[in-house]
Amino acid sequence: MREQAEGRPSVGRESEPATHPSSITECDELTPGRPTGLLRDYHAAFNAARGAMALLDHDGHLLAANPALGTLLGCDPARLTDRQAADLVGLGGDERIRDAYREVLSGRRDRLRCTCRLKHADGHALWAEVTVDRLRHAEPSLPAPCAPEAERPAAPRPVAGRAEGTAGALLCVQDVTERRELADRLRHLQMHDPVTRLPNRTLFFERLSAALRSPATGRVGICYLDLDGFKAINDTLGHAIGDRLLAAVAARLTACVTDGGHLAARLGGDEFALLVEESAGTEQLTTLAESVLTALQRPFDLDGHRLAVSASIGVVERSAAGTTATGLMQAADTTLYWAKADGKARWTLFDPERNANRMTRQSLSSTLRQAVERGEFTLEYQPLVALDGGRLRGVEALVRWEHPRFGRLAPNRFISLAEENGSIVQLGRWVLAESCRWARAWHKDHPEAPPFVSVNVAVRQVWDSDLVGDVAAVLDETGLPPALLQLELTESAVMGSTGRPLQALYALHEMGVRIAIDDFGTGYSNLAYLSRLPVTALKLDGSFVRGFRSREHPNPADETIVEALVQLAHRLGITVTAECVESAEQAERLRRIGCDTGQGWFYSRPVAPDRITAMLGGG
C-alpha cells in the first residue's frame, strides 16, 4: 500500500480522511532505522510552511499536500492525495510545459518553473507560479501510520519499477494573481493611448505581427488614416480642445469596428489605423473606409465649438503569407499619401503599378547625383528654324539619361526629381557647360552664321546656385560669345520673379545672354511683366500651334491669339518661336502671321550633336 506522510491526515484511494491523528506519534518513533527527530522536523516544517507544497510520486500523483496548498485551492489538503498534480495546477494544457513536467518526473530534468491559471474550488480563477523540483535523495518510503490495521485505507497500486510511496518531486505553488493583475494593468497603460484610450502603436504592431505569423490568418487588411484639418484646430483652439477632438474621433472609429471585431488604434498625432485580421477581401476594407468617412462627416460639438474634420485613408489588403508588418505599413503609408495627393477626404486603395512607378522614382532620385558624376547623361539638340527662309537659327539642348537599368530616359522622367532633391543644380551646370562647348565648336566652323544654343534653366538653379557666376565661368572657359547662349525659363517662374531671380535675369541680360520664356501662354500670362523683364524671346506653347493643323478644321481663336501675341512681342522687341510644328501647313500659317522661328518634328526630332554639325554643313 502507499504509505501516508507523517504530520497530516491519512487519506485513502477515494480521498476520504482516515481517523488517525495528524501529528507524529510514538509509533513513528519506533519505526526501525528511521531518524525520528529529523523526520519530525521535516514534517513539521512541511505542514507549517506558508508556501503551498506537495510531494509527488514518479507518476505525478500527490503523496502529501500541506495546508497552504489546500487553502490556495479552497479544499481539504487530505482530499488532494492521489490526485494528478497536472490536473490540479494546470500543467497539462501547454504541450511544452507538459513535456518538461514529464521530464522532471522521469529524472531527465531537474526543475520546471512556469505560470499557470488555476481554478479555486469556489469557481474563481487565479494565477500561480508553479515550480516542480526533482528530488535527488528522496526518502525510501513514507512512514507507516500507527492507526489500527482495520482503519487504514486501501493501499494504492504500486508503481512499476519504483518503491511504494517514493517521492519523486516537490511541487511548490505561489499565488501571483495580484502581481499578474498589476502587470496586466501596467501593460494596459503601456499599450494604450492615454488621450483616446485606444491601443497605441506598440500594441497595434504586436497584434499585426501576431496575425501575420498565425497560420490561421488567410488575409489581412489595414485602413491607415490621417485627419484632414486637425492641425489648424489644434493650433488655433489649443491642445485641450485638440485632445478632446481626438477622443471623439476615436469613439466614432471604435463604433465603426465594433461589429466586425476589428482593432482601432491611435498610432500618434492625428494618425489612426484599423486592423482587419481575417479579411474577406478588398471590398470589406473599402466598405469599412467608407463607413469611417461617413462617421466623420458629422460635426463635433466641443465646448461651444462646432468642429469639422475629414480623413484621408490608405487602404491595403493582401495575403498574410509572405507579408511583413513593416512592408504592410509602408504600403499603407504610401497609399495614405496618395489619398492626400488625390484631394483628401477620401480613401485610396493600394495600387501595385502605381507603387512600382513610385519605387522607380525613388530609385531614380537616389541615384541622380551619382549619375552626373558617372557621366550617364547625354545631350540631344532640336533645331529652331527660321520660318521665313528655313535657315537653322539655333538649337535647344535636351538632356537624356542613359540609365543602366531603365535605358534611355526623357527629361520628364527625372527633371522634376532633380528639382525636388536639389541635384538639378549639379545637372544644370553640366548641361550648360556641354551645350556651350558644342555651340563654340559650331561657331568656329560657321562664324558667318553660327547657331545659338538654348538651355533650359530651372527656378531652383536661380535660387540655389550662383547662376550668373556659373554662366560667366562657362562662357569664359569655352570662349562662346554671350549672344549665342539663350536661357529658357518657364513662364510661371519668370512672371513671379522678384529679388534675387530678377537681379540674376538682369545681370545675364547685361552680359549679352538671351532670356526666353518657355511654354508661354500656359502660366500666369501676365503681359505687364513683359515690359519689365529683360526677355528677348517667347516660345509659344504647342497647345496654340495645334489649332493650326488643317484648313478644314481651323481654330480661329488660336490663330487670333497667336497673331496678337506675335504683334505684341514684336512691338516690345521680342522674337517669337512656335513649338510643336508638325506640318508644312502649320509652318506656313505661322509664318504668315509673323512668327520668327519654328521648332518641332516637321523640321527634326532631337538629334545627336554630330547631326547638327551635318545640318550646318549642308546649308
> 339-368 as b/e, with b when 16 or more CB fall inside 10 Å?
bbeeeebbbbbbeeeeeeeeeeeeebbebb
Identity at 495, one-letter amino acid code: M
Cβ pair 419, 479 in contact under 8 A: no
CA 267 to chain centre: 11
pLDDT digits (tens, 9 = 90+) for 400-439: 999 998 899 999 999 999 999 999 999 999 999 999 999 9
Q: Give me the chain's average pLDDT, please.
A: 85
Q: Which residues contact 218 (CB under 8 A, 6 or more apart)?
A: 278, 279, 319, 320
Q: Could you tell me which residues are beta bridge partners of residue 490? A: 518
DSSP 150-176: GGSPPPPPPPTTS-TT---EEEEEEE-
- pLDDT class of 460 with cuts at 50, 70, 90: confident
pLDDT in tens, 321-343: 989 999 999 999 999 999 999 99
Report the pLDDT value the prediction gives residue 523, as an integer from 0 to 100.
Answer: 61
Rounded to an integer, what distance in angstroms lies between the CA atom of residue 213 and that of residue 216? 9
pLDDT tens, residue by residue, 112-158: 999 998 888 888 889 999 999 998 754 444 443 433 343 333 334 44
**Domains with residue ranges and CATH for the chain:** 26-179 (3.30.450.20), 200-350 (3.30.70.270), 376-611 (3.20.20.450)
Q: Is the pLDDT of residue 494 over 70?
A: no
User: pTM of whole model > 0.85?
Assistant: no
Which burial class, exposed, middle or buried, applies to 509 when counting CB atoms under 10 A from its CB (0-12, 13-18, 19+)?
middle
Taking only Cα atoms into account, the Rg of the chain, rounded to an integer number of angstroms, comes to 44
pLDDT at 423: 93
Nearest-angstrom CA–CA distance, 292 and 354: 24
Phi (first) and psi of residue 223, to 5 degrees: -110, 110
- Asked whether 478 and 416 are in contact (CB, 8 A), the reply is no
Buried b (16+ CB within 10 A) or exposed e, 535-547: bbbbbbbbebbeb
> Is the CB of residue 92 less than 8 Å from the CB of residue 108?
no
Please give the Cα distance from 93 to 95 (Å, whole number).
6
How many residues belong to the chain? 619
- Kindly report which listed range (339-343, 482-486, 516-520) carries the lowest average pLDDT score: 516-520
Q: Label the pairing between strands 169-175 and 52-56.
A: antiparallel
Q: Rounded to an integer, what is the distance from CA 297 to the centroid of its chain?
A: 27
The pairing of beta strand 219-228 with beta strand 271-276: antiparallel
SS3 assignment, position 443? helix
User: Is the pLDDT confidence value at 177 over 50?
Assistant: yes
Instruction: Measure the CA–CA gap between 145 and 219, rounded to whole angstroms.
Output: 65
Range in 204-208, 479-483, 538-542 the model is least confident about: 538-542
Helices (H) and strands (E) in the chain, counts: 22, 21
